[in-house]
Every structure is written in structure tokens, then in C-alpha cells.
Amino acid sequence: MVQGSPFVVVANRLPVDEVSDDTPAARTTGGRRWRPSPGGLVTALHPVLVEHSGTWIGWSGSPGPAPEPFEVDGIKLVPVTLTHDDVERYYEGQSNSTIWPLYHDAVEPPIYRRRWRDAYREVNRRYAKAAAEVAAPGATVWIQDYQLQLVPAMLREMRPDLLIGFFLHIPFPPIELFMQQPQRTEVLRGLLGADLVGFQQRLAAQNFLRLAKHLLGTPYSGNVLEYEGRKVKADAFPISIDVGEMQRLADNPLVRERALKIRSELGDPKTVILGVDRLDYTKGIEHRLKAFRELLADGKLSVPESVMVQVATPSRERVEHYQALRVKVEREVGRINGDFGRVGVPAVHYLHQSYSRSELAALYCAADVMMVTPLRDGMNLVAKEYVAARAEHGGALVLSEFAGAAGELRQAFLCNPHDLDGVKEALMRAVNVDPHEARRRMSVMQRHLRRHDVAAWASDFLQTLAEIGNTTEIRA
Ligand code: GDG
């Protein structure tokens, strides 16, 4: 049994993937093999977790009884059990068919089911209990994201001694949308269980403060609410990437070589246009394909001088909205290739696959124009990764105004993805940008990212939390 951690992270998933026996670099525990799945979050938190004997609570990714707690790379991992029913109701249902679409401007209609809500509550309680069991007296607990919004209040009830932070990685909707949720008061009270509620953008924090006043009459001044005799702070902490990691990858000669190879495999076009997204309806993949198709039809772009590469990483494949999206995207790709491709020369290279970090870096290095056109996105790390990978090499980023990243990457070619003419215009400006101007824009954005990487994000959040708790214990 793991006991008494002064720092606990609670997230839907553990930062590891279970692998089959023959995978290199896997760690074995209890007869099962695990490979770290390094995302930005674990990279940023790893040093803090190691320094403070931290524990990470989350799901292993496989339904069924959870494995015993184990350790990977100096971090204690406490798996939480999710049954097949839990995965269907709490994860695919309430998290990804109700909350995800609702918090992204309801770009697909959210689906409301009572049994999903019940499962969400029950699973949230399980995570809260696990945290209550492993946290040392007065520990700092940092809960992550929309799957676990009820955990802060549940945990506070079990362990009032803890300092509790919550960070929402996705947007927080305006009052009118949030109010659709049958579980709205419970969710709001859940979040208010934290001492600090962090959002990607200031607007989201304001939505939260206004909602608390509207729904519960909770007064606030500045960004601090008075709730049940406690103070709850709500603020923006825009997340970022491990800039150093992406720059090292992009500087690696093997990656550079691979980037050249990709260009030559594409037929050495004048312009490579790239999209990299989870195959998700919030990412505006169809909108950018349509803009590309119309530009080809208008004769403003032509094949093979310009080609598009769209990586659409498989995601949430059992959820209906996602199955429908896949059909629509693949139909559009087929239409473009049918109309504008030639034998051996497609206009769009569509890849419904997952790639290694170094292959992604090579793609970023190979692309003249990166298209990031979400209809709504908490931040969008792909936009930041592209900028970090470009080093001194210019390139142009077309970026939706509705991505949190647009608040920081002001030198991108900003567009409204709902305005097709606007997307086409931004894409043409990016394609035709003067190389000197492109390098200038890229270097301004890079300077910003170097000062605002994911370690700075974690440190800012944890420091603000420590100040609230009047403790200097946990700092990134
Ligand atoms: C949520 C919020 C917020 C993609 N394909 C592959 C791969 N990726 C990596 C990218 C990037 C990450 O996945 C995607 O991050 P995004 O930020 O773009 O989007 P979400 O997954 O929707 O993330 C978002 C984020 O949380 C963090 O707070 O920015 O707004 O929606 O890092 O590179 N990685 C690998 N292979 C792939 O094929 N290895």
C-alpha cells in the first residue's frame, strides 16, 4: 500500500501504457508490462513528483480490476479500477458524449443520460477515495480535467486538511451552455471544492466566476470567490509544451534527414501543408479540407506544386460522434483526391494512424504551412509544437481564433474556421508569405514559447496554490 505522499496528481489516465511482452524499454510489474507514455503533463510534473515522493492516481487504460500500485521512473502509480460499464458510461458516455461536446460550444449536440451521470459520480468518488488514502496530512493534491470535476468537493469532504488544485484542459463554457447540464449544480459544487481552479484562458475563468454567482449566488471580488466560508481562486494558466524536447528533436540530424525524405516521398512539392490532430470534430479538419479543395478548384493552388498531409490520430473510436466524423472526413479526402489527384500523386495524404514523437517532429520540419483550425480548443499543443520545431527555418502557422493558443501566438495567420473565405485567405497569405517575414514571425513566437514552457506552467500553478495554502512545500 502506498502511503503518505505530500504531492498527489489525480488524472483520468496514468502516464503509462500497457504493452505486450516484446516491447523494448518496458517495466514489468505483477506480470504486466508498462511503458511510460510521456506527454507534456508528465514531463512537467516528473521532477516535482520525484522530489516530493509524489503519487499519480489514474486508470491504466484496460477495463477490469486495477493492478497493484507500482513505480515507474521514480513515480508511484496507483491504478484505479474501471469496469467495461464504467468505460462505457463514465468515460465514453458522460465525459466524451456529454461534457466534451457541451464545453466545446456544443459543436456536436451533447447527449444526456441519467445512467452516465450516475456512473460519473461513482467513478469520481473512486478517484477521490484513492487520493484520500494516499495523501499525507496537509498534502497538495492536483486534479486534472473534465473527467474528474466532482473529485475536488468529494476529496475535501473526506480530507479537509488537503490543499486542492484543479486544472481544466478544455474550455469552460458560458453560463447559457453550462446551464443545459442536468448535473450543473453538482458539477459546480464539485469544482468549488478546490482551493484553486485553473483554466487555459481568462475568459474561461470569468465564465466560471459568473456561473457561481448566477447559480449559487456566490459573491466574488477580482478572481476570488467566497464559498462556504472558504476562498476559492479561479485563474488562467495557459498550458504549454516541453519546448526543449521539441527543439532537440527538430535539431536531430536523423529527424532532419527524415524531413527531407518525407518531402521527396511527397514528390518535392513547392508547398507542403500539414494538419496533425486527434480525429475529433472540435478540430475543424473538415473545414480546412474544404478550404484546400476550393483553392484547388479556384486554381489558386494546384497539385503537385501543393500537397496536403493530414495526420488524424485515431481517437475515441467507440463514440458515435467520432465514427460519424471519420466517415465525413474520409469522404471529403476521397472527393478531393478524386477531383484533383493523379495516378501516384494524391492531393491529400490522409493518415489515420499514430506516430512516434520523432516522426511528428520530422513532419513539422517538412511542412511549409501548418493548419490548426479548431472550432473550439482549450489550448492546442500542436500549434506550439510546430513553432518550437521550426527553429530558424521559417514556415507559417494558420491558426484558428478559437484555439486558446491564439491568445499567445499572435504572429500566426489567424482565421475564423466558420468563415471559409477567411480560412482560404489566411492559407494563401501563409503559402505566399515572404521567407524573411515568415522567419521574423516564427522567431517572435519562439521567444514567447521559450519563456512560457510547460515547466513554467506547472510552476506557476503550484506556486499560486502554495500561496493560497500559505505553504512553500510543493513547487515545480
Ligand atoms: C487537450 C485539449 C489542450 C497527436 N497525434 C499524435 C500525437 N499527438 C499529440 C500532439 C499533441 C497532443 O497529442 C494533442 O494535444 P492538443 O493540445 O492538440 O489536443 P487534445 O488532445 O485535444 O488536448 C487541448 C491539451 O489538452 C493540453 O491541455 O491543449 O486544447 O483539447 O502533443 O503532438 N503524439 C504522438 N503520435 C501521434 O500520432 N506521439
In 294-338 the beta strands, taken as DSSP E runs, fall at: 306-313
73-111 as b/e: b if 16+ CB within 10 A: eebbbbbbebeeebbbbbbbbbbbbbbbbbbbeebbebb
Residues 444, 464: one domain? no
- What ipTM score was computed for the predicted complex, to two decimals? 0.99
Domain shared by 283 and 186, yes or no: no
Residue 326 domain flag: yes
Q: What is the pLDDT along the chain (476 residues), one digit of tens a residue?
A: 445 999 999 999 999 988 876 666 667 677 788 888 867 788 778 888 888 889 999 999 999 999 999 998 889 999 999 999 999 999 999 999 999 999 999 999 999 999 999 999 999 999 999 999 999 999 999 999 999 999 999 999 999 999 999 999 999 999 999 999 999 999 999 999 999 999 999 999 999 999 999 999 999 999 999 999 999 999 999 999 999 999 999 999 999 999 999 999 999 999 999 999 999 999 999 999 999 999 999 999 999 999 999 999 999 999 999 999 999 999 999 999 999 999 999 999 999 999 999 999 999 999 999 999 999 999 999 999 999 999 778 999 999 999 999 999 999 999 999 999 999 999 999 999 999 999 999 999 999 999 999 999 999 999 999 999 865 555 55
| 294 and 228 within one domain | no
Q: What is the CATH number of the domain that holds 57?
A: 3.40.50.2000
The pLDDT value given to residue 1: 45
Q: Ligand 1: which of 278, 285, 319 to mutate, most ligand atoms within 8 Å of CB?
A: 278
Asked if 341 contacts 296 with a C-beta cutoff of 8 angstroms, the reply is no
Cell numbers for 292, please give them: 484546400
- Same domain? 187 vs 326: no
Q: Residue with the nearest Cα to atom 27 of ligand 1? A: 169
Check whether residue 184 and residue 258 sit in a common domain: no
Residues 64 and 130 in one domain: yes
Grid cell digits, residue 120 = 460519473
Residues taking part in catalysis: 169, 377
Taking the CA of residue 357 as reference, the ligand 1 atom at the shortest distance is: 39
Report the number of distinct structural domains present in the chain: 2
Separation between Cα atoms, residue 154 and residue 166, nearest integer Å: 13
Q: How far apart are CA 43 and CA 469, in angstroms?
A: 25
Residues 232, 303 share a domain: no
Is residue 474 situated within a structural domain?
Answer: no
Q: Tell me how far the alpha carbon of residue 277 lies from the centroid of ligand 1, in angstroms.
A: 7
Residue 72 resides in a domain: yes
Ligand 1 contacts CB of residue 37 (under 6 A): no
Cell digits of residue 65: 480490476
154 part of a folded domain = yes
Asked whether residue 84 is assigned to any structural domain, the reply reads yes
Q: Going by C-beta distance under 8 Å and a sequence separation of 6 or more, which residues neighbour residue 344? A: none
- Kind of pairing between the strands at 5-13 and 135-144: parallel
379: Cβ contacts below 8 Å, ≥ 6 apart: 169, 200, 238, 239, 240, 403, 404, 405
Q: 371 lies in which domain range?
A: 243-451
Q: Judge whether 368 lies within some domain.
A: yes
Q: Are residues 307 and 171 in the same domain?
A: no
Q: Based on the domain organization, do 247 and 283 belong to the same domain?
A: yes
- Both 13 and 100 in one domain: the answer is yes
357 CB within 6 A, ligand 1? yes
Residue 475 domain-assigned (yes or no): no
Indicate whether residue 354 lines ligand 1 (CB < 6 A): yes
- Based on the fold, state whether residues 116 and 103 are members of the same structural domain: yes
Q: Tell me, yes or no, whether 294 and 429 share the same domain.
A: yes
Rounded CA-CA distance 239/461 in Å is: 10
Please work out whether the CB of residue 170 comes within 6 Å of at least one atom of ligand 1: yes
